[in-house]
Amino acid sequence: MEEFSVSTKEKYDMVDITKQVKKIVKDSKIKKGICTVYVPHATCAVLINENYDPNVMDDVLDCLNKLVPEGKWKHDRVDNNGAAHIKSAIIGPSETIPIKNRELLLGTWQDIMLADFDGPRQRKIIVTLAGE
């Protein structure tokens, strides 16, 4: 298991963490197995999608903002981030990717993204590898 941190810059931010995760896999002794990428935070998530065209990530954030508007949730009375909790619950805190020959089996256009819905913050990413 390895950990690293990422700083987000905006309230809603997508950060490509693919290079960091690939390095952890490459430096490991795991030739085939699985890689789980997890964030221990209630207001951010991990997703895999296209990152070649940055409009895709903007579209994901725009869609979530339309589906889950700000300022109408019971939790907002506590710390005004109810929408961030709901968005992170929709996307989820982890992704699992197969490993073959010490490489992630991502598709041509796939990257691993940290989605922060309550930034800017310092976020921890936990990468767990299992296999042989």
**Domain at 2-131, CATH homologous superfamily:** YjbQ-like (2.60.120.460)
Region label for 25, one of left (φ > 0), alpha (ψ between -120 and 50) or beta (otherwise): alpha
Neighbours of 101 (CB within 10 A): 7
Give the residues across from 38 on adjacent strands.
94, 126
Number of helical (H) and strand (E) elements in the chain, helices listed first: 4, 8
- At residue 42, the pLDDT reads 97
pLDDT digits (tens, 9 = 90+) for 67-91: 999 999 999 899 999 999 999 999 9
Q: Give mean pLDDT, residues 39-64.
A: 95
The yes-or-no verdict on residue 56 having pLDDT over 90 is yes
- At residue 54, the pLDDT reads 87
**Hey, where are the domains in the chain?**
2-131
